[in-house]
Homo-oligomer: A and B are copies of this chain.
């Protein structure tokens, strides 16, 4: 099969870098274009990221010499992955969608648009159906699909099977989030050394709002109806490089035992697994049984960073169960999720 040409918008930032490493030798996609802000455009990619390449491994050889393009339609590719800042992403992504590109966005700009899905095919594959409505009502040949904020992603994957099996009533989550989530230069070492920063701008409302949309339903192919459980988030930045940990408690309508609760998580599988998509981990949720796991450094890379690891499942005195949820914030929580969305919509014939 001939590979699909793809571009990365905002290619020089930390999420853009992650796209580039994940797209190296991808079985469906061939990276043909990298685009970034004026400061970088016209330079080679290697020049543009000099001193700012922060993911592990060196820049892929074939990307080093690519000329960084301006971020505007006209790029020779069919799919674009957007790692742009939300401040700029909104209108530019629309422009690309209007020009016929399939836009997979990591920015928050369009997440709350009523005709744009926050797609995560393990849990809400059926939300993709809104794309037809989006194209028709906006008059676009292309489309925009978003993925959620990194902290939301890890949370909603295990919430889905719990909701299916037992009915979610309430979710309380306290996150311990990695510094890579803030990009580069991001968190100052003067702020985080011997410290915790118990506040991440905008993060708590994002987690609450996105979870309800993602676990809600799409009515008549065009209207999202939020899920109805109660959800509260508290977000902290801790001194960890990669991997967001969520200390979670859930209230349920049905009251399972620990084993039944655990089995619902361990046995979960979704459309990406059925379709055997290249970026789909064999198991979307891995359950650890040690008393002190998951831990960011030891568990973030399971399933090439695409599995979510849960553990310490135990009864809760306030809600029904407590559990830990760990996910890799720049892979499953960002670039990897976007690429999985692109694989999924390709497999489903959306482009």
Contacts and interface: CB of A to CB of B under 8 A. Distances in A.
A106 to B, nearest CB: 18
Contacts of A234: 174, 247, 249, 322, 324
A195 B176 CA distance: 10
Interface in A97-132: none
A189 interface: yes
A11 interface: no
Contact of A319 (B180, B189, B232): B232
A110 to B, nearest CB: 24
Contact of A187 (B176, B190, B251, B318): B190
Nearest to A198: B324
Nearest to A231: B317
A263 interface: no
Tallying the copies of this chain within the complex gives: 4
A316 B232 contact: yes
B297 A194 contact: yes
Contact of A56 (B51, B291, B298): B298
Contact of A194 (B14, B170, B194): B194
B241 A194 contact: yes
Interface in A79-108: none
Nearest to A326: B198
Contacts of A230: 317-318
Contacts of A208: 317
A245 interface: yes
Nearest to A176: B196
Contacts of A249: 172, 232, 234
A36 interface: no
Interface in A248-278: 249, 251
Contacts of A311: 198
Interface of A: 14, 50-51, 54, 56, 170-172, 174, 176, 179-180, 184-199, 208, 230-232, 234, 236, 238-241, 245, 247, 249, 251, 290-298, 301, 311-312, 316-319, 322, 324
